[in-house]
Amino acid sequence: MPSNPPYKKILIINIFGLGDVLFTTPLISNIKSVSPEVFIGYVCNKRTAPLLAANPKVGKIFIYEKDDYREIFKKSKIGFFKKLFQALGEIKKENFGLVIDVSLNKYASFLMWLVGIKKRIGFDFRGRSPFLTDKIKLEGYDEKHVIEYYLDLLSGLGIPAKTRHLEIFISREEELWARESLKSGRFREKDFLVALVPGGGASWGRDAAYKRWPPEKYAKLADKIIENFPADIILLGDSLEEELCRRVAASMKEKPAAIFNKTTVGQFAALLKSCRMAVVNDGGPLHIAVAAGVKTVSIFGPVDENIYGPYPKENHQVVTKDIACRPCYRRFRRADCEHINCLNTITVEDVLERVGLHL
């Protein structure tokens, strides 16, 4: 894309979770590095909207919440179409010349055609997107990291992929909040902080347990870190993981310095940035830590870390178990499993060894 770009306004559609939205930040950065004046709009869900609102490279956010539309449809089909066309009208007003659609949604490209966006780039997931003008056929992400798939979409625009680093923007106010909040903890005058995140965000919903290393092992790991290193522990999670964090704390010999469960995304990132490193499960918090420049040890079970893991890999350690059935999450489906041995057989010593490489 030349400095005088043919597309003055570009819309990105990604209605997935925090990690996935962070995976699109290299896409945005590469576009902006070639043409800083390009206006970028973004269709996302409510949970990821604050992340994008803090990004100065994103000019406008359009929120799409699938569950909201479903509820409205149940109550009133007229109300559903009224809300839908109102939302489409807001997009149409911006006169976007190009849409980059990574939603894998079978209706998105049609709706963008309907509002008059002439160039529509994206993934033709299982033949669902006939209204894309430029498409890459996709059955699933199974050969390389998701970020690389997203960056492939730049080739049709003539934009080189020069950066692959995730970006998150933390305000000075959020950094000050983290500093003040940490002062209220029960610290033992140790040299540094280590964050443990025993949850993993909301991306797998009811199946979240399939991505979580057992909480009792997190507690034992915390004790081992305190015994072996001049470190204090803080526990982090979202508001739905408060009980999980308290279970970990209750099983520790020495209680954590602090537990934080009611934070914004920016505050969560600021707390992580205050730590020497973080131990996390596969999920959005891992990618927030990566984007914030924090060293991580991440624990992966059913999911392939080469596709969904920390990226780039520098300063990040991944712990897995080499068993025949992993990774079993392929092409957006997880195999039925009762034992979850890929997670449950990872020992405290396995993780502690990787922690030691960072400390």
Place of tokens 């624990």: 299
**How many residues does this entry show for the chain?**
359
The whole-model pTM stands at 0.94
User: Does 9-157 carry CATH code 3.40.50.2000?
Assistant: yes
Question: Where does the chain hold its CATH 3.40.50.2000 domain(s)?
Answer: 9-157, 172-358
Give residue 164's pLDDT: 95
Q: What are the structure tokens assigned to 271, written together?
A: 């707390």
Instruction: Extract the residue ranges of the chain whose pLDDT is less than 50.
Output: 1-3
Give residue 204's pLDDT: 66
> Cα(62)–Cα(114) distance, rounded to whole angstroms?
17
> Cα(243)–Cα(255) distance, rounded to whole angstroms?
15
CA distances from 127 to 101, 106, 114, 124 (A): 14, 9, 19, 5
> Cα(21)–Cα(201) distance, rounded to whole angstroms?
13
Task: List the one residue out of 273, 212, 283 whose CA is nearest residue 245.
Answer: 212
Q: How many helices (H) and strands (E) does the chain have?
A: 15, 14
> Cα(218)–Cα(235) distance, rounded to whole angstroms?
10
**Residue 241 DSSP code:** G
**Is residue 342 within 8 Å of 326, Cβ to Cβ?**
yes
Instruction: Tell me the CB-side half-sphere exposure of residue 199, using CA atoms within 13 A.
Output: 24
Tell the CATH topology of 172-358. Answer: Rossmann fold (3.40.50)
CB crowding 253-274: b at 16 or more within 10 Å, else e: eeebbbbbbebebbbbbbbbbb
213-222 per-position pLDDT tens digit: 999 999 999 9
Q: Distance from first CA to last CA of the chain, Å, rounded?
A: 43
